[in-house]
Amino acid sequence: MRDVAIVGVGCTEFGEMWDSSFRSLFIEAGVQALSDADIKGKHIDEIYIGNMSAGRFIAQEHVAALISDYSGMSELHVPATRVEAACASGGLALRQGYMAVASGISDTVVVGGVEKMTDVVSNQSIEILAAASDREWEAFYGATFPGLYAMIANRHIHEYGTKREQIAQVAVKNHYNATMNPKAQFQRAISIEKVLNATKVADPLTLFDSSPITDGAAALVLVPAEKAHQYTDTPVYIKGSGQASDTISLHDRRDICTIEATVEAAKTAYKMAGIQPSDVDVAEVHDCFTIAEILATEDLGFCEKGEGGKLIEEGKTELDGDIPINPSGGLKACGHPVGATGIKQAVEITTQLLGEAGDRQVDCETGLCHNVGGSGGTATVHILSREA
């Protein structure tokens, strides 16, 4: 198996992109990544595209062929594959691209993710996203993701004494980080009081505990590590890749306060990279709701189970903390175009490792990306490093 490097990155602005179409968003991110790597389309062997639900958001299926066509790749007959794993579609596209290069099947792979979510009204988007839960046993009975994660939050509060203010602090931190990210959907700071006093979406979670509906795209160029310096003087290496599944429905879990797919995917990635959680300098984790970031810090091994609230309260996950979490602003403030999120996380960690993150830059040599589908039915974890 070959080592794999990232040699180009691209990312659109995230937000309500009324003047951009689904296809133009992906092409914008892809062109940025190819330009960053100084690679021409004729050199691309494969394309993997993370996308959850274009068929319902914009009534467009056959997404891979669409992207290949409008990227100018159809004349070259470059194979393109759509990858779907709900909100983990991007992370899984990255894993598929990684495996294609690592196996030797392909030398140059573009992996990307895209979602255009704002072309439907809010009630429709909530119903579309609910399709990532168990339709028969959850969504059919009215369970939404705010409701599912609210149950997790309430159980975490009951089981571990987690404070409501600690959960709210996740949103405060991530909004602050996003003020320094020009691609972020929300570039304004908020207070704990604003989070707590916002409109309730599912008790105890409020509007400001929830990630937004977002349009956006992101892309990466992957090549074999031994060829990376043909494209850039500063490649970033994928040292570990893990994926795991769990029950799609929350009620079938052994413990709803633990996303075991995250635990298992992280074990695989750590073992492959030959590191421990304490070796990670910065992480982008899946904070679709504020409680989800607290779970992630625990399940990824950055603290003991039940200590995630204390970790955020003590400032250890801030930009100058022991383990900076979501310097981009995370899903909460940077935005959450579900198919693109996992790729954006890798773009952010790559940018951090290259020292190009501007005012939100942290001191790092090893970074982690963590992407979750639904309430934890799928999880991917990738370890990135400046060192080959």
Confidence of residue 64 (pLDDT cuts 50, 70, 90): very high
Q: Residues of 141-154 as b/e, b for ≥16 C-beta within 10 angstroms? A: eebbbbbbbbbbbb
Active site residue 11: no
Confidence of residue 381 (pLDDT cuts 50, 70, 90): very high
In the chain, the percentage of residues whose pLDDT exceeds 70 is 100
374 contacts 152 by C-beta, under 8 angstroms: no
At 54 the pLDDT is 97
Give me the catalytic one of 11, 87, 303, 369.
87
333 contacts 284 by C-beta, under 8 angstroms: no
* Domain residue ranges of the chain, discontinuous segments joined by +: 4-121+214-236, 125-212+239-385
Q: What is the pLDDT of residues 328-363, one digit of tens each?
A: 999 999 999 999 999 999 999 999 999 999 999 999
Q: How far apart are CA 112 and CA 98, in angstroms?
A: 12
At 106 the pLDDT is 98
At 152 the pLDDT is 98
CA dihedral 313, 319, 323, 325 (to 10 degrees): 80
46 contacts 78 by C-beta, under 8 angstroms: yes
Answer whether 0.85 is exceeded by the pTM: yes
At 308 the pLDDT is 98
Amino acid at site 180: M
Q: Residues of 368-384 as b/e, b for ≥16 C-beta within 10 angstroms? A: bbbbbbbbbbbbbbbbb
At 274 the pLDDT is 98
Q: How far apart are CA 30 and CA 360, in angstroms?
A: 24
Per-residue pLDDT at 123 exceeds 90: no
Per-residue pLDDT at 373 exceeds 90: yes
Classify residue 375 by its DSSP letter: T
Lowest mean pLDDT among 19-23, 43-47, 122-126, 141-145: 122-126
Q: What is the pLDDT of residues 72-109, one digit of tens each?
A: 888 899 999 999 999 999 999 999 999 999 999 999 99
Span 20-46, average pLDDT: 96
Tell me, yes or no, if the two domains 4-121+214-236 and 125-212+239-385 fold the same way. yes
Span 8-23, average pLDDT: 97
Per-residue pLDDT at 122 exceeds 90: no
Per-residue pLDDT at 111 exceeds 90: yes
Active site residue 286: no
At 74 the pLDDT is 87
125-212+239-385 fold: Peroxisomal Thiolase; Chain A, domain 1 (3.40.47)
Per-residue pLDDT at 37 exceeds 90: yes
At 16 the pLDDT is 97
DSSP states of 63-84 = HHHHHHHHTT-TTTT--EEEE-
Q: Residues of 188-207 as b/e, b for ≥16 C-beta within 10 angstroms? A: eebebebbbebeebbebbbe
At 364 the pLDDT is 98
Say which residues have a Cβ less than 8 Å from residue 315's Cβ, sequence separation at least 6: 321
Residue with tokens 């984790």, as numbered in its chain: 285
Our measurement of the distance from residue 90's CA atom to the centroid of its chain's CA atoms, rounded to an integer in Å, reads: 7
Per-residue pLDDT at 126 exceeds 90: no
At 76 the pLDDT is 92
Classify domain 4-121+214-236 by CATH number.
3.40.47.10
User: 10 Å Cβ neighbour count for 298?
Assistant: 24
| Residue 32: its H or E element | helix 22-37
> What mean pLDDT, rounded, does the chain reach?
97
Burial degree of 223 (CB within 10 A; 0-12, 13-18, 19+): buried
Q: How far apart are CA 288 and CA 335, in angstroms?
A: 9
At 173 the pLDDT is 98
Burial degree of 91 (CB within 10 A; 0-12, 13-18, 19+): buried
Say which residues have a Cβ less than 8 Å from residue 361's Cβ, sequence separation at least 6: 327, 352, 355
At 86 the pLDDT is 98
Give me the catalytic one of 156, 175, 336, 370.
336
Q: What is the pLDDT of residues 284-331, one digit of tens each?
A: 999 999 999 999 999 999 999 999 999 999 999 999 999 999 999 999
